[in-house]
Structure formats: C-alpha cells, structure tokens
Amino acid sequence: MSEFKLHCFAESGNAYKAALMLELTEQDWDPVFVDFFKGQTREKEWREQVNEQGEVPVLEHAGQTLTQSALILEYLAEHTGQFGARDAAEKREIWRWMLFDNHKFTAYYAALRFIYCLKESGETDVTRFLRERATAAYRIVDAHLANTPFMVGGRLTIADLSLAGYVFMPEDTGIALEEFVHIEAWKGRIKALKGWQHPYDLMPRVAL
C-alpha cells in the first residue's frame, strides 16, 4: 500500500498542485479517482466520508486527512523538507502568494476554464468578468516574475507549485497568454524540473 493517497482527477488544477509536489519530491503515492463530472463531490456520502467542504484535492497520510491545496503543500513541505520556507519571513511571503493564488490567480482562471471550456457556456457577462479578473491576476504574477526566476527566495517553493495549478492546462480560455512572457519563462523552468509531468499524465481521467 502506498504511503500517500491523493483524491483527485486530471482536470483539477488544484489537485495538480499536490500531485506535482508528491511527484517532484519522489513520494510513494497513489491517486484515488474522484468522478467530479458525475457529481461525486456533491454526494452526501462523499462529503461525510472524504471532505465535508465538497472539494478536491484530499490527501490521506498516516491516518490523517488533509484538504485545501495550500495546506497540503505546507504539510508536504514540512514532511519532506523540500520546497518550504527557510525562515519566518519567507514563510509569510510564501503564504502571501498562496493566498493570492487561492483567491485570485487560480480561482478566476479555474472558474473561467470550467464554465467557458469544460461546460462550453459560450461568451457571457460572467465569462467576460472572469477573464478580466484572471488576466489582471496574471499581470500581477507576470510583473513579479520579471525580476526573479521563482516566486519566493529565488528557488522553487510551494508558492510556485500553488500558482502552477492551472498554467499547464491546454484549454483555450480566450486569454492571450503570449502577453505573459515572464510566466511563460517560469513555466519552462518548472517543466525542466526532474519528475515534472503534465496534469493529464499525472492524474486519472475518464475516457471521453
């Protein structure tokens, strides 16, 4: 039996943050497929047994159940001694970016991708609003990366892994990603890391 179990599905960038961390730190882990598109996370039983917040990812380790990708990343950084903060100031900086990611960078992009690409909503006021907000968040991260190879401390940390949740997803959200040259260069640096894998290769996906 593997040491870690990650409840996930390939299209989930939030789960990818944890899956990539497990892979880059060479942990012994197995995915547990969650049939999100058939509504599994909304089932009463799943919420009672796996996550009352009704969200993926969920990490099981040593009798504990952890949810929220940022918290999972923090836990794995502590457990593995990799990609975490070197001191208290760096820890605050990492959390500052992980919170920005959860609130804006990932949140707006993921909602836009879900509605516009996966649910094929067409263009609406909602998709226009989400695209504008996601683009604004991308501009902020791009400007930060103009001066540093990684988000905090000049090396890969869990702040990068949090922000990287959706940046390798292939769907076209209508955001002109070529504008973000520093994000593109940062993606290249992440992709070059030993053990990097695309989300659709790292986590299980239902055959369409």
Ligand X SMILES: N[C@@H](CCC(=O)N[C@@H](CS)C(=O)NCC(=O)O)C(=O)O
Instruction: Decide whether 12 or 157 has the Cβ nearer to ligand X.
Output: 12
Which residues make beta-bridge pairs with 58?
Answer: 7, 67
Instruction: Decide whether 6 or 70 has the Cβ nearer to ligand X.
Output: 70
In the complex, residue closest to ligand X by CB: 69
CB of 190 to ligand X, least distance (A): 18
CB of 19 to ligand X, least distance (A): 12
CB of 137 to ligand X, least distance (A): 15
Binding residues (CB under 6 A) for ligand X: these are 12, 14, 41, 54-57, 68-70, 102
CA atoms of 73 and 82, how far apart (whole Å): 10
Instruction: Decide whether 14 or 157 has the Cβ nearer to ligand X.
Output: 14
CB of 73 to ligand X, least distance (A): 9
Instruction: Decide whether 70 or 94 has the Cβ nearer to ligand X.
Output: 70
DSSP single-letter state for residue 150: S
E strands in the chain: 4-8, 29-33, 58-61, 64-67
CB of 69 to ligand X, least distance (A): 3
CA atoms of 27 and 40, how far apart (whole Å): 27
CA atoms of 152 and 5, how far apart (whole Å): 28
Instruction: Decide whether 12 or 127 has the Cβ nearer to ligand X.
Output: 12
Q: 33: burial class by Cβ within 10 Å (0-12, 13-18, 19+)?
A: middle
CB of 57 to ligand X, least distance (A): 6
Instruction: Decide whether 14 or 135 has the Cβ nearer to ligand X.
Output: 14
Cis amide leading into 31 (omega within 30): no
Cβ atoms within 10 Å, residue 70: 22
CA atoms of 136 and 110, how far apart (whole Å): 14
